[in-house]
């Protein structure tokens, strides 16, 4: 099968690739969102720890 | 040390968090391989056109994502309901977290089943959408996923959010057999559906192979995303605990 006939899918390229394209888009988007969610919560916890460390430093100085 | 090894051990977020982390890459790899092999099989080992009573041209290849996505949409809803029910009965926090981790991926597959169905319906039926029983009940399933997630995020108190959303999931379970029977009813004359009946037994073996490869690929993908998501959920809910503060990844 030639590359052109593979891409055209017998003239139904819009329907076939419209379906597969949406599938690829959604799966990739979900993985990116999952990575962002993990980074966000790790950053927040890290900041929480630093804030607590500063508070205890401050208390020991006064 | 027999009592150290039991399943209840993993009902604690502190022990489940690292286990889920080890499982994510395995499921992701299996998913990637199954999906790639399934796509190869679907595009290069299948006939371009189907003859017979239900003749179809190249657009039938949408089946390789349409059917696996539709199966996952229903199966993952059953999984969400199962964990929700366990959470309500045994009052286990982690069951609710499981339900919460699975639901977004289930909603994704429901949307994908509707979208690909629409792109299949246009060339084969001549319409993007019809208020046919199968299509309508699948759309309601999407709303149920949306309702579950919306109720959960609308309630500030996590415990109450878990319980209320679990109830939504359980009530909505009635939709799953309706979707199934909407085309698989015993008397074909009672199925007033545009959507074709399921005919797994008479399907061409190569088409079935690609469909099953994609199904198990999507299932493995759902495991990977659910485990990845529950790790974030655990961190969000346990952010004040000692074990989370001692994790190496929170000390960059």
Residue B151 has pLDDT above 90, yes or no: yes
Contact A49 B48 (CB under 8 A): no
CA distance, residue B116 to nearest chain A CA (Å): 5
Least confident of B52-56, B77-81, B161-165: B52-56
- Summarize pLDDT for B157-177 with one digit per residue, the tens: 999 999 999 999 999 999 999
pLDDT value at residue B1? 46
- Summarize pLDDT for B84-100 with one digit per residue, the tens: 999 999 988 999 999 99
pLDDT value at residue B183? 81
Q: Which tokens is B84 given?
A: 């929700």
Residue B223 in contact with partner chain A when CB distance is under 8 A: no
Contact B239 A48 (CB under 8 A): yes
- Summarize pLDDT for B113-144 with one digit per residue, the tens: 999 999 999 998 899 999 988 999 999 999 99
Q: Which of B235, B241, B243, B246 to mutate to test the interface with A (most CBs of A within 10 A)?
A: B235
10 Å CB burial of residue B190 (0-12, 13-18, 19+) is exposed
10 Å CB burial of residue B4 (0-12, 13-18, 19+) is exposed
pTM score of the predicted model: 0.92
Higher pLDDT, B147 or B197: B147
pLDDT value at residue B181? 86
Contact B250 A1 (CB under 8 A): no
- Summarize pLDDT for B29-40 with one digit per residue, the tens: 999 999 999 999
Query: What is the C-alpha to C-alpha distance for residues B155 and B81, in angstroms, rounded to an integer?
Result: 19
- Summarize pLDDT for B201-235 with one digit per residue, the tens: 778 889 999 999 999 999 999 999 999 999 999 99
Higher pLDDT, B54 or B242: B242
pLDDT value at residue B173? 95
- Residue of B82, B83, B85 lying closest to B167 (CA atoms): B85
Residue B56 has pLDDT above 90, yes or no: no
Contacts of A22 in chain B (CB under 8 A): 112, 115-116, 119
Residue B188 has pLDDT above 80, yes or no: no
Contact B58 A1 (CB under 8 A): no
- Give whichever of A58-62, B72-76, B244-248 has the largest mean pLDDT: B72-76
Query: What is the C-alpha to C-alpha distance for residues B131 and B197, in angstroms, rounded to an integer?
Result: 16
CA nearest B120 in A: which residue? A15
Contacts of A23 in chain B (CB under 8 A): 65, 69, 112, 116
Query: What is the C-alpha to C-alpha distance for residues A49 and A56, in angstroms, rounded to an integer?
Result: 11
10 Å CB burial of residue B229 (0-12, 13-18, 19+) is buried
Residue B190 has pLDDT above 80, yes or no: no
ipTM: 0.90
Query: What is the C-alpha to C-alpha distance for residues B61 and A34, in angstroms, rounded to an integer?
Result: 29
Residue B36 in contact with partner chain A when CB distance is under 8 A: no
Q: How much is the average pLDDT of B9-13?
A: 76
- Summarize pLDDT for A12-28 with one digit per residue, the tens: 999 999 999 999 999 99
CA distance, residue A35 to nearest chain B CA (Å): 9
pLDDT value at residue B95? 95
Q: Which tokens is B122 given?
A: 């246009």
Low-confidence residues of chain A: pLDDT under 50: none
pLDDT value at residue B142? 97
Query: What is the C-alpha to C-alpha distance for residues B229 and B107, in angstroms, rounded to an integer?
Result: 14
pLDDT value at residue B40? 95
For B6, left (φ over 0), alpha (ψ -120 to 50), or beta? beta
% of chain B at pLDDT higher than 90: 68
Residue B50 has pLDDT above 90, yes or no: no
DSSP class of residue B198 equals P
Average pLDDT, chain B: 90
């Amino acid at each position: 099968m030639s590359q052109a006939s593979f891409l055209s899918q017998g003239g139904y390229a819009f329907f076939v690739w419209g379906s597969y394209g949406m599938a690829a888009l959604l799966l990739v988007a979900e993985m990116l969102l999952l990575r962002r969610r993990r980074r966000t919560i790790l950053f927040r916890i890290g900041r929480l720890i630093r804030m607590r460390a500063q508070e205890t430093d401050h208390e020991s100085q006064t | 040390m027999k009592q150290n090894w039991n399943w209840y051990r993993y009902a604690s977020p502190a022990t489940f968090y690292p286990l889920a982390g080890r499982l994510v890459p395995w499921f992701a790899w299996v998913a990637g391989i199954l999906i790639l092999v399934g796509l190869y099989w679907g595009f290069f080992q299948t006939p371009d056109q189907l003859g017979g009573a239900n003749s179809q041209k190249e657009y039938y290849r949408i089946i390789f994502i349409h059917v696996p996505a539709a199966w996952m949409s229903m199966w993952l809803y059953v999984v969400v309901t199962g964990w929700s029910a366990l959470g309500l009965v045994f009052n286990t926090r982690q069951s609710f977290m499981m339900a919460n981790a699975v639901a977004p991926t289930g909603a994704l597959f429901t949307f994908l089943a509707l979208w690909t169905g629409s792109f299949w319906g246009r060339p084969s039926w001549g319409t993007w959408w019809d208020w046919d029983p199968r299509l309508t009940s699948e759309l309601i399933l999407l709303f149920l996923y949306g309702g579950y997630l919306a109720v959960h995020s609308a309630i500030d108190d996590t415990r109450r959010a878990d319980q209320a959303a679990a109830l939504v999931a359980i009530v909505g379970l009635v939709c799953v057999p309706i979707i199934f029977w909407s085309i698989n009813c015993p008397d074909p004359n009672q199925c007033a559906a545009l959507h074709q009946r399921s005919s797994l037994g008479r399907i061409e073996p190569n088409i079935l192979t690609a469909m099953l490869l994609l199904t198990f690929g999507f299932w493995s993908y759902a495991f990977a995303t659910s485990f990845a998501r529950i790790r974030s959920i655990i961190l969000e809910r346990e952010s004040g605990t000692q074990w989370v503060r001692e994790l190496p990844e929170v000390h960059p």
